[in-house]
Amino acid sequence: MTLPSTHPSAPLEAGPELVDQRIDHIFYRPGHEDQLVNVESAVIAGDAVDGTFPSDHRAVVCDFRWRNRGA
């Protein structure tokens, strides 16, 4: 989940429909119509640094691989 209720800055007033849910997205598309895009990996990031969180949302980091169809 990208907005955990355990985060000190989590907006708990947003309710269960937002908190403790996956609400962040990464949008992508191929560079041209005969290209395929594969998600190689996806991880959640955003741990505290010296006790301070960089945001109330955790970051989503993805690695993609583009290739041409038939290649």
Query: Could you list the mean pLDDT of each consecutive 10-residue stretch along the chain, which spans 71 residues?
Result: 73 77 76 87 82 76 88 64
Partners of 29 in beta bridges: none
Strands (E), 1-71: 35-45, 59-68
- Return the pLDDT at 40: 93
SS3 of residue 49 by DSSP: strand
pTM of the complete model: 0.54
- Return the pLDDT at 23: 66
Interatomic CA distance for residues 11 and 5, integer angstroms: 8
How many residues does this entry show for the chain?
A: 71
